[in-house]
Chains A and B, each alone.
Chain A
Amino acid sequence: GENVEQHPSTLSVQEGDSAVIKCTYSDSASNYFPWYKQELGKGPQLIIDIRSNVGEKKDQRIAVTLNKTAKHFSLHITETQPEDSAVYFCAASRGSGTYKYIFGTGTRLKVLA
């Protein structure tokens, strides 16, 4: 069935260091991969996304890479800041009739000042 695995479940980094979160999906028909940031008491907020026809996308300190052959994608945050502390979710969507998301289990990122 459809499944997205996400690692690690928790991640602590020193301010200014980089953070990497990895996801693996099972449905080879998936073609859209968003990343969401969820702060306490709030709904998930889209921070970056990538489509299956692209291998890498960057937006300031955030980048996402996609390896379709291996069916995994990763979020990279450079020069981390305390405000990056949150729970991050990856998701996969196949986009046929419905664009429902299959989410990973989340990574709690703590950036230590």
Chain B
Amino acid sequence: DSGVTQTPKHLITATGQRVTLRCSPRSGDLSVYWYQQSLDQGLQFLIHYYNGEERAKGNILERFSAQQFPDLHSELNLSSLELGDSALYFCASSGAGVSKNIQYFGAGTRLSVL
């Protein structure tokens, strides 16, 4: 168990809908990263938050947004869903100091857009 919790595990929804994915980082970790894993694209970096502030954005669509709350949990919001958004979404957290490079991944949320 990595200590990173993602909910829900599975999500099935229809095109055009909006969903929210939740991530609770390991205790004490200030950084949360979101990644998308699809069959043809591998693991793609979406966004990084550190202690509530956005630190970096990857190829994240404008329909997607994220935030990190004061209790350090993070949410990834996906709107106007399309079939191509079906994928596994992972969050990872990392700590500080010498361990700041090391990311611990949750079990993921599998999103199916029908």
Contacts and interface: CB of A to CB of B under 8 A. Distances in A.
Interface string B95-108: 00000111111111
A43 B106 CA distance: 6
A99 B108 contact: no
B6 to A, nearest CB: 8
A99 B31 contact: yes
A89 interface: yes
Given A98-B48, A99-B31, A42 B55 contact: no
Contact of A45 (B2, B35, B50, B100): B2
A50 B104 CA distance: 16
A91 B105 CA distance: 14
A44 B35 CA distance: 11
A34 B43 CA distance: 14
Contact of A99 (B35, B101, B105): B101
Interface of B: 2, 4, 31, 33, 35, 42-45, 48, 50, 55-56, 58, 90, 94, 100-108
